[in-house]
């Protein structure tokens, strides 16, 4: 917010300083890209600790996906992948023996290369969190990482996964290692035996984080995939978010069913938002959904809806109890509620152009953005991670946000994910991702999806709304803040949190826009 505040209140003086007569907003002095929210006051390394087959990579991938979804730039660095690039052909567990000096040299070099890439990610790619996925089972290795982080000014948070349950370990080996590049085309029994021996190699020097010796470290210990937790010295907001997330996830097999409501009356008219009921075809879909769910024979299924009529009417046909979540309500289109896209383009051309340019961060006047919606849905994601089998009856924008989380889709793709009416998506979390099965229930419906295109715009002025032009100096501020006069410098700096003024930097980016 402060960046935008400075930019906004500097426009008047920039115009005088550079002598630019063409436009009040000097194009040479505007930011080229929208700034990324800073959730960390310094870069943070999440360092995994634990023996093989303890779910470290599973946790790393989920944590990376979650942090990116909520808007924290995060990247995972898997040291095993560095080792595979250095040693193209894996032979057997002897590579991991502590007395194998050549292998130890290679493994240390791989860890150093990964740390170097972490540094580059923070300095050159403006990353905020790096997940360092390796065993890190010795105190010496963890000390090296700590020294590296201290020298660079990074914070460190350790995540140790401890598991002694033989059934859980055996299941982890089956789920993960049979798909490992190390065991391609290997006999299953041979792969199992080799991997068990690899674990024994690590056990020889494994030292868990010590509650007394390491009391100054920040860490969480996860015992037996979540049966118990131990948390120590959480340093900041982002670490508390990580702890909260890790204490909510589980590995119990389950399925999540996502469905939009049946076709609504406003869908038929091509109008967005509103709170209309189902159309006749929408009611048919509700009945078809009930038949489909019964056919799935799901035990202990929970059903969630929004507070809006169309999702409630869809769920009522199921004939089972359902929970209403206000957080699942459709994105608030503000002043554009119940308008068609054609009406928005004709009556609010500036807003239409702004939304085209950055659909994820664009906020409807008096409404929400997709970015706002993601943060509204975070409690839903947390509860979905805690639950087993759930059917979520929701809306297009909401379904896109949920789907982007489970499929690890970036923010720029999220608003364009296909979520057609009268289709159920069955999501089944698996070892390192999520399996998706679509079921079209054979009830016709209107198509509400709008494709993204990229028209070529030759002049930047065409991408800047008219209300930011030189001849309307402070109109945009007058509209949203109401403290300024046309063609007069601001008397007192003022900016409302979350106001559309925060969209100014992205409104004048030099890249071509995407049309939805």
Residues 208-229: tens digit of each pLDDT: 999 999 999 999 999 999 999 9
Q: How far apart are the first and last CA of the chain?
A: 27
**In the predicted model, is pLDDT for residue 196 greater than 90?**
yes
Characterise 9 by phi-psi region: left (phi > 0), alpha (psi -120 to 50), beta (else): alpha
DSSP string, 95-150: GG-TT-HHHHHHHHHHHHHHHHHHHHHHHHS--SEEEEES---SHHHHHHHHHHHH
Q: Any idea what the CATH number is for the domain that residue 237 is in?
A: 3.40.50.300
Q: Which are the contacts of 459, defined by CB distance < 8 A and separation ≥ 6?
A: none
**In the predicted model, is pLDDT for residue 18 greater than 70?**
no
More confident position, 462 or 171: 171
Residue 275 lies in a domain: yes
Burial annotation 398-431 (CB, 10 A radius, 16+ → b, else e): bbbbbbbbbbebebeebbbbebbbbbbbbbebeb
Same domain, yes or no, for 240 and 262?
no
pLDDT digits (tens, 9 = 90+) for 39-98: 667 999 999 999 999 999 999 999 999 999 999 999 999 999 999 999 988 989 999 999
Same domain, yes or no, for 265 and 321?
yes
What are the structure tokens assigned to 176, written together? 């993960």
Same domain, yes or no, for 394 and 474?
no
Same domain, yes or no, for 385 and 485?
no
**Residue with structure tokens 């289709």?**
423
Which of the listed residues 246, 277, 299 is the one where a domain comes to its end? 246
Burial annotation 143-174 (CB, 10 A radius, 16+ → b, else e): ebbbebbeeeebbbbbbbbbbeeeebbeebbe
**The pLDDT value given to residue 252:** 83
**The pLDDT value given to residue 36:** 53
Same domain, yes or no, for 80 and 175?
yes
Query: Binding site membership: which residues?
Result: 260-267, 310
**The pLDDT value given to residue 457:** 41
**Residue with structure tokens 């079209």?**
440
Q: Which are the contacts of 58, defined by CB distance < 8 A and separation ≥ 6?
A: 176, 251, 431, 432
Confidence of residue 16 (pLDDT cuts 50, 70, 90): very low
**In the predicted model, is pLDDT for residue 373 greater than 80?**
yes
Find the helix or strand (DSSP H, E) in which 241 lies.
Answer: helix 237-246
Average pLDDT, the chain: 84
**The pLDDT value given to residue 238:** 96
Residue 37 lies in a domain: no
More confident position, 479 or 232: 232
Residue 152 lies in a domain: yes
Same domain, yes or no, for 389 and 483?
no
Same domain, yes or no, for 56 and 186?
yes
Question: Considering the entire predicted model, what is its pTM?
Answer: 0.80
Which of the listed residues 216, 246, 276 is the one where a domain comes to its end? 246
Give the whole-angstrom CA distance, residue 8 versus residue 323.
44
Number of domains within the chain: 3
Give the whole-angstrom CA distance, residue 70 versus residue 341.
28
The residues carrying an active-site annotation are 261, 330
**The pLDDT value given to residue 419:** 98
Residue 360 lies in a domain: yes
Same domain, yes or no, for 430 and 474?
no
Same domain, yes or no, for 11 and 92?
no
Same domain, yes or no, for 261 and 240?
no
**The pLDDT value given to residue 141:** 98
- Average the pLDDT over 236-258 and give the result: 94
Residue 332 lies in a domain: yes
- State percent of the chain over pLDDT 90: 71
Query: Which residue range is the domain that position 173 belongs to?
Result: 44-246
Which of the listed residues 410, 440, 470 is the one where a domain comes to its end? 440
Q: Any idea what the CATH number is for the domain that residue 320 is in?
A: 3.40.50.1240
Same domain, yes or no, for 116 and 75?
yes
**In the predicted model, is pLDDT for residue 26 greater than 70?**
no
Same domain, yes or no, for 306 and 337?
yes
The answer to whether residues 516 and 416 touch, using CB atoms and an 8 Å cutoff, is yes
Q: Which are the contacts of 118, defined by CB distance < 8 A and separation ≥ 6?
A: 45, 77, 130, 132
Residue 126 lies in a domain: yes
**The pLDDT value given to residue 466:** 38
pLDDT digits (tens, 9 = 90+) for 317-346: 999 999 999 999 999 999 999 999 999 999
Query: Binding site membership for substrate: which residues?
Result: 260-267, 310
- State percent of the chain over pLDDT 70: 79
Residue 512 lies in a domain: no
**In the predicted model, is pLDDT for residue 489 greater than 60?**
no
**The pLDDT value given to residue 142:** 98
Torsion of CA 351, 353, 356, 361, to 10 degrees: -40
Residue 167 lies in a domain: yes
What are the structure tokens assigned to 304, written together? 């969630």
């Amino acid at each position: 917010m402060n960046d935008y505040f400075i930019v906004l209140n500097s426009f008047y003086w920039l115009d005088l300083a550079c002598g630019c007569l063409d436009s009040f907003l000097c194009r040479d002095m505007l930011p080229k890209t929208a700034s990324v929210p800073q959730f960390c006051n310094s870069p943070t390394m999440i360092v995994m600790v634990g023996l093989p087959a303890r779910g470290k990579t599973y946790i790393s991938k989920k944590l990376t996906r979650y942090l990116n979804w909520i808007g924290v730039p995060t990247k995972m660095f898997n040291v095993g992948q560095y080792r595979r690039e250095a040693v193209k052909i894996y032979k057997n567990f002897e590579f991991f023996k502590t007395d194998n000096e050549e292998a130890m040299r290679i493994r240390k070099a791989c860890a150093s290369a990964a740390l170097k890439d972490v540094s580059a990610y923070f300095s050159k790619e403006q990353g905020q969190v790096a997940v360092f996925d390796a065993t890190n089972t010795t105190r010496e290795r963890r000390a090296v990482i700590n020294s590296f982080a201290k020298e660079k000014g990074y914070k460190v948070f350790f995540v140790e996964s401890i598991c002694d349950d033989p059934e859980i370990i055996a299941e982890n080996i089956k789920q993960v290692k049979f798909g490992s590049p190390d065991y391609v085309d290997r006999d299953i029994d041979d792969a199992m035996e080799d991997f068990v021996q690899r674990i024994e190699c690590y056990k020889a020097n494994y030292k868990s984080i010590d509650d007394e010796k390491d009391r100054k470290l920040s860490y969480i210990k996860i015992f037996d995939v979540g049966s118990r937790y131990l948390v120590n010295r959480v340093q900041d907001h982002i670490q508390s978010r990580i702890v909260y997330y890790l204490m909510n996830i589980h590995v119990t097999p389950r399925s999540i069913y996502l469905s939009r409501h049946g076709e609504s009356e406003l869908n038929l008219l091509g109008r967005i938002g509103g709170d209309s009921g189902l159309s006749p075809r929408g009611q048919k879909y509700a009945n078809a959904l009930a038949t489909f769910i019964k056919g799935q024979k799901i035990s202990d299924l929970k059903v969630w809806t929004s507070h809006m009529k169309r999702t409630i009417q869809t769920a009522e046909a199921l004939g089972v109890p359902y929970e209403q979540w206000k957080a699942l309500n459709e994105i608030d289109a503000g002043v554009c509620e119940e308008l068609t896209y054609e009406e928005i383009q004709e009556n609010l051309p500036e807003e239409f152009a702004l939304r085209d340019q950055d659909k994820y961060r664009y906020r409807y006047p008096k409404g929400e953005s997709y970015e706002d919606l993601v943060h509204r849905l975070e409690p839903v994601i947390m509860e979905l991670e805690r639950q087993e089998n759930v059917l979520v009856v929701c809306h297009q924008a909401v379904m896109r946000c949920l789907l982007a989380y489970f499929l690890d889709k970036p923010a720029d793709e999220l608003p364009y994910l296909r979520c057609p009416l009268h289709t159920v998506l069955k999501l089944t979390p698996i070892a390192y991702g999520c399996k998706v099965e679509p079921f079209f229930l054979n009830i016709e419906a209107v198509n509400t999806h709008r494709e993204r295109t990229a028209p070529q715009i030759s002049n930047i002025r065409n991408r800047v709304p008219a209300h930011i032009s030189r001849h309307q100096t402070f109109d945009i501020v007058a509209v949203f803040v109401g403290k300024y006069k046309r063609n007069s410098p601001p008397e007192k700096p003022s900016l409302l949190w979350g106001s559309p003024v925060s969209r100014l930097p992205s409104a004048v980016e030099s890249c071509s826009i995407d049309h939805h």
